[in-house]
Structure 1
Amino acid sequence: MAPPSSTVAAWELGLRLREEREALDFTAVEAAGRIGIAQNYLSDIERGKRKISEAKLDELIDVYGLDAEEYRELVELRSDAVLRGWWSKFSGLFDQDVLRYFGYEHGAEAVRTYESLLIPGLLQTNSYARAVISSDTPNIPVSEVERRVEARAIRQQRLFGEEPLRLTVAISEAALRQQVGGPEVHAEQLEHLIKVIEQLPESLKLLVVPFDAGAHGALGASTFHIVSFPSPKLPNLVWQETVTSTDVIDNPIRVHQYSLTYEEVVKHAYDRSVSLRFIREALGG
């Protein structure tokens, strides 16, 4: 299981409300009109982007004719959805899509990550993260760097504890060779990778794609994460990062395409034990 996440709860609540509406063949306009809200507002609720009040949820449940068990589950989801996650204190620092991703990641059961040039954020040391963040001077003010490093460190807490996030990372050999922050920061980062791989044998799998692996579907691709959740009612999501944009992808066909690409990448990667040995060699070399 994963810890509660207001973002995930709001998303599941919205999905379930939309499913109930569509099962009754109501349009969003009709359903919104029944409880006296705008259609756009209901659409945002169904996408998990806005919160619904307890009174309006009661009205909507009544309109949809849901039974007592469904009522209880939806009310519980709404209670979780209105809580403030740790990421809310960074609302002035990150845009809403990034904050949503933090919420999804916090409430996720598993994440599969592909990264071609950098060590993924969940596995970065503070020094490495600081070097990465501070290098983007056109877009990130110096005054924001330390708080962004702090947010990254908080995210990493999901890797530990009784119910850790299951993380599978496929990285190019280039990510191990790029000396972000200089030789000392680079060496510290590789030592950290070795430490966490050994510390988390059941929940962390890091796979290195060597230079001689040949071409694969993600070669040259931007960073992406495939996120899975404990609730069977929630589909997988993809979070994609480019230099100038980020994007949450929930279209089932596109998510499936990313999953197939990831499986292909893994075929070209060393397994966990060989990857660990490779990192040791990179550190020694």
Structure 2
Amino acid sequence: MTATGRPDAESRPVQRYLQQQKAGQTSLRILLGVQLRRLRRESGFSLEQAAKCFDGTVNAARTKIQRLEHGDTGCQEDVLAKLLDHYGVTDAEERDDYLELASRAAVQPWWYEYNEVVEKWFRRHIDLEREAHTIRTYEVHFIPGLLQTEAYARAVTEFGYPHLPARKIERLVELRMVRQEILTHEDAPRLWCVVDEGTLRREWGGQAVLREQLEHLLRIVELPRVSIQVAPGRSPVTGNHPISLLQFTEPDLPDLVYLEQFSNAVYHHKQNHLDQYTMIMDRLSAEALDPEETPAFLEKLLAQLP
């Protein structure tokens, strides 16, 4: 506390959130939810007790508060004001911080111009991917999206969305290329990929597309914050589906496991799931070739192409 009795900056984590330049809509909603949950618990309220500050049924209000605390939805100013009143937040500066956070969390995300082609289950991932300090990924079917060439991305997108109009296919490919820009930013994340050998041999789009893709990977591995490991076909440890782990520097933003399936995805942020999938990624990495061996392996594959 300051001499005036107001909370100081260190006791106001919302101030820290507001200073983060990379923070997008998804992370700001999650962080607002973290603080709303903290305020509710510190006030001694259960979800049912907190729900009584709203009109309507308790069950509907309880669901609303749960969604807010999980960062699944934005928070309107009047709703936030009621919660702050209920939780006894009276300091004007602190209330302004919360209202500013909610306002920023309502700003359209960077990917909104592609909204018509982005699956709802994918939106959280592409928003948070830009804020991760480390992205660990394992791929068994395709080259990771952040490493694909335009032609390769088009080929696998056409396979995945056979009935989608060509215009929307091109928008999805364009979005993938835009996502890749994070790899060359000054504050680029650490990207650590384990790719199954069979994936590197699979000819999505034909041999010319595969050749261009392998040559692209040879250039990408030269980036200082990108590591690619190949899981050879003889490896006893393989996965059945792709895995991504997103890790963040902000202590209140939980790390995330992202499991993409053919037409949806599952997100995990509980510690037991994080531990489980971190262990799986560690095993996959331990069984894969060292990153230093990747260029020679890629060159060998290129030499085998007609």
- Give me the TM-score of the superposition, normalised by structure 1: 0.90
1:33 aligns with 2:48: no
Structure ID, larger Rg: 2
Aligned amino acid, residue 43 of structure 1 = Q
Counterpart among 54, 67, 84 of residue 44 in structure 1? 67
Count of residue pairs the alignment pairs up: 280
Identity %: 32
- Partner of 1:135, secondary structure, is helix
1:204 aligns with 2:223: no
**Structure 1: runs of 5+ lacking an equivalent:** none
Counterpart among 162, 170, 183 of residue 159 in structure 1? 183
Q: Which residue of 1 aligns with 2:277?
A: 258
Aligned partners of 1:170 and 1:266 also within 8 Å: yes
Counterpart among 104, 127, 131 of residue 151 in structure 2? 127
**Structure 2: runs of 5+ lacking an equivalent:** 1-19
Q: Which residue of 1 aligns with 2:207?
A: 183
- Partner of 1:238, secondary structure, is strand
Aligned partners of 1:2 and 1:107 also within 8 Å: no
Q: Which residue of 2 aligns with 1:235?
A: 254
Aligned partners of 2:121 and 2:264 also within 8 Å: no
1:276 aligns with 2:295: yes
Aligned amino acid, residue 82 of structure 2 = E
Deviation (angstroms), 1:35: 4.8
CA offsets 1:42-63 (integer angstroms, 9 cap, x no match): 2211121211123432332332
Q: Which residue of 2 aligns with 1:61?
A: 84
Deviates more, 1:226-235 or 1:26-35: 26-35
Q: Which residue of 1 aligns with 2:112?
A: 88
- Partner of 1:211, secondary structure, is coil
User: Any residues of structure 2 matched to 1:90-129 within 5 Å, and which?
Assistant: 90-129=114-153
Measured in 2, the distance between the counterparts of 1:282 and 1:2 equals 41
CA offsets 1:205-251 (integer angstroms, 9 cap, x no match): 111111223x12xx242111111122111221111112232122223
- Partner of 2:181, secondary structure, is helix
Q: 1:208 to 1:246 in 2, by over 3 A?
A: same
CA offsets 1:29-52 (integer angstroms, 9 cap, x no match): 321322547222222111212111
* Higher RCO (CA 8 Å, separation ≥ 6 residues): 1
CA RMSD, 1 decimal? 2.2
- Partner of 2:205, secondary structure, is coil
Measured in 2, the distance between the counterparts of 1:108 and 1:67 equals 34
Aligned amino acid, residue 232 of structure 2 = P
Aligned amino acid, residue 23 of structure 1 = E
